[in-house]
Structure 1
């Protein structure tokens, strides 16, 4: 199993940082020069992964310039996967670009999600439970109060995930998908095909729409509740400020 970060997006709402950097390389700890990529690679290393891949696109050269330093710092062999439509299409296509890696099994993390390593641990802990048979496992926040913009999930023990979308009444949701997934090797081909169907239907769709395509085809998708943890998806400068406060709080412990 390897780590996988989607870091191809431009993040225009974070200008001027993203005039020269992809969103995943905007500093979330300016004193130490740490980015979401740094934090996520550190998480991967802490749970025992030795290899990771980063899907790059917008300002890919900035990731290339840091590749050797990141490998040395986190003890991970890194592979860069190029998304040739990063500024045109949404992330269903971006994840599909890494389709050959999915067959190895991956822990997928969005390049704009600041989260603690306990999230990866929660996903991997599910594998140790008797009767584990999940092929796709979503990290789910069941504590946070939800509104319209969150990627919401309806899940039941009997059927697994039934719905994943932002377009849902928050009152009906089990929780929010935080942008981290464990994808077992057995799911690789099925997910790649579902992602292709998704972006061919509409290139502006999310990879979570690919998960919904899997569910609609009858493949079970499950969740791992992450408990009460501090995390944030960075879309704008307010989110960036929250991310920096989370990282500063952890550093001060």
Structure 2
């Protein structure tokens, strides 16, 4: 199994940091970025290889590969998304499709979370589980969250921002365990998604899978501090989590 980070996005709401950096390299603390934290998590759960999907400001990540490998002891490869500035992340994840057969721990490059999330997903493996989503079932939800409806009989029924928060089981936090057995189905679903509309999210690809009867499981992460960094308020929250006063 390898780690996979989606780090191709522009993150325009985080300017001026993202004038020259991808969101995954926005500084949280001196020497600490979301990418650093994610790679540290991968290393702590025993992963020795990881891939990073790059696009916008890719050169900034390319310049740090050697340092990141030395710091975290994880061999890195870069996957280039040639449409990162014009298409959404369904295509970005599809660009890494050749890696799915190895088994993947996927993390969005703008998500700050503790290593307990990766451990929870790894502990949830087994049986016929092929795709497992990290789910926050504690947070009070609003309109912007990527919400999930799940039940034990069929797994994930819906995954979208566009639902009544009161109907949701929880929020998908942007971390997924992809087993090798999911590779073919997930690749096809992502391709169908971006071909249908290149502005769609990879979570829309998960919905394609669910609609086709593919079971998607979830792993509740418990009451942990995490944040998706979309704007400066989120960045301030990330700094509170990483550097509590």
Query: Same fold, TM exceeding 0.5?
Result: yes
Shift of 1:28: 1.0
- Give 3-state SS (helix, strand or coil) of 1:34's partner: coil
Distance 2:25 2:107 in 1: 14
- The ranges of structure 1 where at least 4 consecutive aligned residues each deviate by more than 6 angstroms after the TM superposition are none
In structure 2, what is the equivalent of residue 9 of structure 1?
A: 9
**Residues 1:112 and 2:110 aligned together:** yes
TM-score (norm 2): 0.99
**Residues 1:90 and 2:85 aligned together:** no
Matches within 5 A, 1:57-76: 57-76=55-74
Distance 1:25 1:122 in 2: 25
Distance 1:87 1:212 in 2: 24
Distance 1:195 1:127 in 2: 23
Residue of structure 1 aligned with 2:216, choices 215, 221, 235:
221
Distance 2:185 2:150 in 1: 20
TM-score (norm 1): 0.96
Matches within 5 A, 1:166-181: 166-181=161-176
Unaligned runs of 5+ in 1: none
- Cα RMSD for the two superposed structures: 0.8
For these two proteins, the number of residue pairs brought into alignment is 245
Q: Residues 75-106 of structure 1, C-alpha deviation per residue, up to 9 Å, x if partnerless?
A: 00100000000000000000000000011110
In structure 1, what is the equivalent of residue 125 of structure 2?
A: 127
Matches within 5 A, 1:1-253: 1-29=1-29, 31=30, 33-127=31-125, 132-249=127-244
Shift of 1:217: 1.1
Distance 2:185 2:158 in 1: 18
Q: Residues 179-206 of structure 1, C-alpha deviation per residue, up to 9 Å, x if partnerless?
A: 0000000101110110000000000000
Unaligned runs of 5+ in 2: none
